[in-house]
Structure formats: C-alpha cells, structure tokens
Amino acid sequence: MHPKTVGLIAHTGKRGVGELIRCLADEFAHFKIPILLEKETARVSGQESKLTIAELGNKADLLVVVGGDGTLLNVAGHMGETMPPIFGINVGSLGFLTTVSSPAFREAVDCIASGKMKFSNRALLEVAVGDSKEGPMIALNDAVFSRGELSRLIRLRTRVNGEALTEFNADGLIVATPTGSTAYSLSAGGPILEPESGVFVITPICPHVLTNRSIIVSERSTIEVEATERDYPVYLSVDGRDSVRVNKGVTVRIQKAKKTLRLAAMQDTSFFNVVRQKLKWSGSNL
C-alpha cells in the first residue's frame, strides 16, 4: 500500500509530541506525501486544522497515531463507517498496538512511503445496550461489566447464541477480542489470543465460584449479558470509555462488528516478539 494522503493524530498530553509531529510532517514532505492533521494535534504542533478524528478517517488513506495503545483505542472508537488502516508510533514504553518507538520515526515514515508495511486484520466488537436509540458502540479491545464503587459481587446472566452459559457471580465480566486479550482480560487470568485467531474470550473478574473460568467462543457468536439484581447496579465500559449503567433486565448484546481494523506495522514486527518483550519472557537458562 502506498498512501496518497496520511492523517496525523497525537495524544496531545504527551511530552514533546508537538515537536515529533513537526518532524513527522517534514519527513512526509520529503517523500511528497500530503498530510492532514486532527485539530488538537495541529494546535500542539503550532499549525491549524478543524478536522475531527472521524473527518480525518474519511479523508486520509492511512492514519498515523502518535501516543500509546490507549490513544489508538480512542481513535478507533471515534471512527465512523470509514476506517482506514492505522499505524501506531509509541511515545513511551513499547505497546502491543503502537509498536514503533518515537526515536524510530524516520524508519517508520520510510516504511510507509515505500509501501513496505505489513497489516493485521483486527476484529471489532459491536456492543448494543437494550433498546438504546444511540446505536451500538464499537470496541477494539473489550466490553467490561463492573460493580462500580460498591464492594459487592454482581450477577450477570450470560448466553452464547441464545443458549445459557452461566450466571456469573463476580466483581465483573470481560468480553474481549484477540487484540484485547492482552489487556484487562489477561490481568484477570484470561488467555493470550493470536490477533487473527477468529475467536473472542469471556473472562470473569474475581468470580465467587472458582470453577468459573475464561471461555473462548467463535467470533461468529452472539454473546448476551443481562444484569439480574435490581438493588445493585452494573456498569458497562467499552474500551475504557465512560461507563453506562445497565439496569436489571436489560440485555447487552455483543457480536463481531461488520467492519474491521487494518493495523499497520513495520515488516519486522512480530506479535510474538512484542509479547516476549512486553511480558518479559526471557525463557529458561537450562
């Protein structure tokens, strides 16, 4: 892929990001590739733009996101129907999604300009709350059910393709994509899934019944989660965004979204190499 137009989006709270955006703009100019800036990204780099993230997604062939994994999740959540490939540049420690470090920005631009990127097709979750008129939410990582501030277990009746799975009595429940399997689900004891494995994972958070464990289901599945207690509220957060309350009897329906995210990376990037580095798997000395 040789992008004709590149959109730049940055986490504006990161130190030195304004200078990095200006350097990236100069590098793309060297290759005669036009760039478009998200409005807040333009502001911190001393430039002007009125484009939102969604508008940038409609106009650019490729988005370069500068920040961390959370920045990339935020960008994916603000995309409209059009979702161009996203290339992440990490400002800080190595991320699972933003795997190129900021000092290597010249190599990243050269990779993009020469069309030598590799792509990974990442499944997205479509999360619909009851009969909400706001439409479904889109998640790259996960949908998380939690108990809020109350120090009490919640009950979540869960079905897969209309068939009862169980009623989880736990601190919460995570429904994650393979991309999200290395996030909260992993911390809760869930398995690591290869990015294009074609499955989702359901992981309880601190379940009362010790036999409740993570379960892997096909990405073609429809997962339904229902809060079953009236007096204890349940909250739903999608990719870490602001929580919404799920009242008793309301069913949250989770399934694979129609669109997918093409995550771009440099040719030498390997998921298993990133896992080894991020999780500090050094292997045995024996």
Of residues 108, 63, 109, the one with CA closest to residue 82: 63
Enumerate helices (H) and strands (E) in the chain, giving the number of each: 7, 19
Cα distances (Å, whole numbers) of residue 135 to 127, 129, 130, 152: 9, 8, 10, 30
Rounded Cα distance between 94 and 268, Å, is 15
69, 142, 171, 239: the catalytic one is 69
DSSP conformational letter for 51: B
Rounded Cα distance between 122 and 184, Å, is 17
Pairing status of strand 215-218 against strand 223-227: unpaired
**Where do we find the tokens 């399934």?**
255
Q: Identify the bridge partners of residue 199 per DSSP, sorted by sequence position.
A: 218
Residue 27 host element (H or E): helix 17-30
**Sign of the dihedral defined by the CA atoms of residues 240, 245, 251, 257, in that order:** negative
* Neighbouring C-beta atoms of residue 276, cutoff 10 Å: 13
Token pair for residue 119? 């792509």
Q: Which amino acid is at 151?
A: S
Is 131 tagged catalytic? no
Provide the annotated active-site residues.
Answer: 69
